[in-house]
Amino acid sequence: MNFQANSPHARDAAHHLHPYTNMADNEANGPHIFSRGEGIYVYDDDGKKYIEGLAGLWCASLGFSEKRLVEAATKQMEVLPFYHNFAGKSCEPTIELADYLVKHAPCEDMAKVFFTNSGSEANDTQVKIVWYYNNVMGRPEKKKIFARTGAYHGITLAAASMTGLQYAHNAFDVPIKNIMHTTCPHHYHHAEPDESEEAFAQRCADDLEAQIIEEGPETCAAFIAEPFLGAGGVIMPPKGYFEAIQKVLDKYDMLLIVDEVISGFWRTGDRFASETFNLKPDLMTMAKALSAAYLPIGGVMISKKISDVINQGSMKYGLFGTGYTYSGHPVPAAVAVETQKIYDEMNMGAHVKATSVRFQERLKQLGEHPMVGEARGIGLIGGIELVKDKADKINFDPAHKVAPWCVAKLTELGMIARPMINDSIGLCPPLIITDSQVDDMFDILDQAVDITHKEYVSTL
C-alpha cells in the first residue's frame, strides 16, 4: 500500500511497534485507525461506524462516551494529578476504591487490595505473592503454580508463562521455572466419546492431582484459573469442574488464584464470576472493567490468610518490597470509583441478566449453522467455533485462517470481533448494550458467517 507522505498511516507503519500484530503486515498495509466512540460504537478515521463487539479488549464495559468518567478524571487531575502509595503513603480515591472492593468481594475473608496498572502486572504480582507467602511460611520449595492449557493470564514474564497459548510463548523463552500447565477443561474437544461433563470435570481434577503427585506435593503452591477461559476461546467450565479442582487444592494445601480480569464486574450478571461459579479464591485478579477501561488500573485482592502472612514477612524482612510507580494512581482510582457508582446506579447486574437472555438466544441460534461447531457463553460474553466438519468436530487447517477471514468480513459489514484459537470468534459487547443492539450485532454476525461459508470455505 502506498501511504501519503507523513500521514498517520505512514508514521504508524514506520515507527509504531504494535502488540499482538503481524508487524510485517502492518508495515506493508498500515493500521486501521479509530478516531472516536459513542455508546457501543466506534468510528474510524474515514467516519465509518462499527459495533464494538468485543468492548475493545473485553474491557470497555460502559462504552465509549460516558461523560461521568471523563469528569471524574478531570476533577481528580485538578486536585491531585499524581501521588504514590510507597512507604505507607496514600490518597483518598485509592482508599475509597480498596474499601469498596473488599466490602463487595465475592467471599467474606478477602482483606486487602494491591493495585497495579494492568491484569498482566496483577498476575505477575500474584506469582510473587505466592512465592513470598511460602517463603515466610518456611516452605521455600513450595513454589510451583499450575495454570491450564488454553488459559490467558497476561503477557508480562510470569503472566505469559501462565498463559497457556503458544503464540504468547513463541521466541520469548517462556514459561519460566515453576510454572506448570494442566488439562484444558474444554468438554467439546477433550472429552471422551459419551463422557459426561461431570465425568470429564473429574478427569481434569484427576489429571491435576496426578501432576501434583509426580512433581511432589511439597513443591506445589497454587492453581490459577479464569472462571471461564476468555482469550482461549470463551470456554465454559464443565459441570462440577471447580468443585472437583477445589478438593484437590485443599488436599495438597494449595492456594486458588481466580483471574477475574475479563469476567469481573458484571459480565456474567454477577459482580464477580466467582459468585456465578461459587468459587472461593485465596487471591483474585482484576482489571479491565474495574475502570470501564477509561484509564489503566488493575488489582490483586488477597484473603486475610495471605495478608496475615505478609504482615509476618514485614516483621522479618522489613518493607514489602514490590510495587509500581503508578500503583493506586489517584486518577485511575477516581475513575474506577465512579465506574462502580455507575454500575450500582444502573443496577448493572439486573440489566445484564435481562439483556443476556436475548444475547444467549441469538448465540444459540447461530450454533445451529452448519459451520458452527459450538456456540458457548454466559451473560454478555460468548464465542462461536467455526469447523470444517460439524458432526465429527473437525477444525479447519489453521493455515486457512477461516476465523480471521470471517472477522475481516465482519469489519467490512460494520462490526468488530476477535478471532481466536481453533477458529473461534469472541463476542463481548459493552455491558450497556440493549436488546435491539444485540439483534443488530447478531444480524451482522449471521451474515458474515454465511458469507464465509459460501464464498471462502467453499473454495478451500
pLDDT in tens, 100-140: 999 999 999 999 999 999 999 999 999 999 999 999 999 99
In the chain, CATH 3.40.640.10 sits at: 69-345
Mean pLDDT of the chain: 97
337 Ramachandran zone, left/alpha/beta (phi>0; psi -120 to 50): alpha
Fold of 69-345: Aspartate Aminotransferase; domain 2 (3.40.640)
pLDDT(335) > 90: yes
pLDDT(5) > 90: no
H helix or E strand, kind and range, residue 115 = strand 110-116
Query: Residue 447 burial by CB count (10 A; 0-12/13-18/19+): exposed, middle or buried?
Result: middle
Distance CA 223, CA 42 (A): 38
CB 111 within 8 A of CB 304: yes
Cβ neighbours for 326, distance < 8 A, ≥ 6 positions apart = 84, 117, 332
pTM: 0.96
- What is the per-residue pLDDT for 1? 62
Largest CA distance in the chain: 68
Tell me the mean pLDDT in the region 309-337: 96
H helix or E strand, kind and range, residue 374 = strand 372-378
Cβ neighbours for 355, distance < 8 A, ≥ 6 positions apart = 380, 433, 434, 435, 438
In the chain, CATH 3.90.1150.10 sits at: 32-65+348-459
**Cell digits of residue 119:** 491484569
pLDDT in tens, 54-65: 999 999 999 999
**Cell digits of residue 204:** 481434569
Domain 32-65+348-459 sits in CATH at: 3.90.1150.10
pLDDT in tens, 344-386: 999 999 999 999 999 999 999 999 999 999 999 999 999 999 9
Distance CA 327, CA 78 (A): 19
- What is the per-residue pLDDT for 6? 87
Confidence of residue 290 (pLDDT cuts 50, 70, 90): very high
Taking each helix axis as running N to C, give the angle between helix 330-346 and helix 67-79, from 0 to 180 degrees, rounded to the nearest 10: 150
